[in-house]
């Protein structure tokens, strides 16, 4: 092999390596903002999923309370007395704590 063809062969290999590095580097630079956006969206989705779970728990608690209002007279009376309501004719004593 002549010296010229050896130089040409080395030049082709180096050119190929440089081109591959440029392509890979460009791909990384192009994908980096997309990856950051993807992570941000995943975090946002996780927060929204947690919010949905919290709201579902709140809805379940409200449904349970609604059922107790319908079926448990002692619960209704308990809540009424917490709100300082009394039945007609009852004598109510109110104690002020902290005075």
pLDDT digits (tens, 9 = 90+) for 62-74: 999 999 989 998 9
Predicted TM-score of the model (pTM): 0.52
Please indicate, yes or no, if residue 91 is contained in any of the structural domains: no
Which residues span the domain enclosing 37?
A: 3-82
Please indicate, yes or no, if residue 12 is contained in any of the structural domains: yes
Average pLDDT over residues 70-94: 83
Q: How many domains would you assign to the chain? A: 1
Angle of helix 73-82 relative to helix 3-71, nearest 10 degrees, comes to 90
Q: What is the DSSP letter of 58?
A: H
Please indicate, yes or no, if residue 92 is contained in any of the structural domains: no
Q: What is the pLDDT of residues 5-59, one digit of tens each?
A: 777 888 888 888 888 888 888 878 777 787 788 899 999 999 999 999 999 999 9
- 98 or 69: whose pLDDT is higher? 69
Please indicate, yes or no, if residue 30 is contained in any of the structural domains: yes
Please indicate, yes or no, if residue 89 is contained in any of the structural domains: no
Please indicate, yes or no, if residue 99 is contained in any of the structural domains: no
Rounded to the nearest 10°, the torsion over CA 50, 52, 53, 57 is 140
């Amino acid at each position: 092999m002549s010296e010229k063809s050896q130089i040409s062969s080395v030049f082709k290999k180096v050119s190929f390596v440089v081109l591959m590095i440029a392509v890979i580097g460009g791909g990384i630079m192009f994908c980096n903002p997309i990856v950051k956006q993807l992570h941000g969206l995943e975090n946002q989705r996780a927060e929204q999923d947690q919010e949905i779970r919290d709201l579902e728990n709140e809805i379940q608690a409200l449904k349970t309370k609604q059922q107790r209002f319908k079926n448990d007279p002692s619960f209704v009376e308990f809540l009424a007395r917490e709100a300082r309501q009394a039945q007609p004719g009852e004598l109510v004593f109110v104690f002020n704590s902290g005075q």
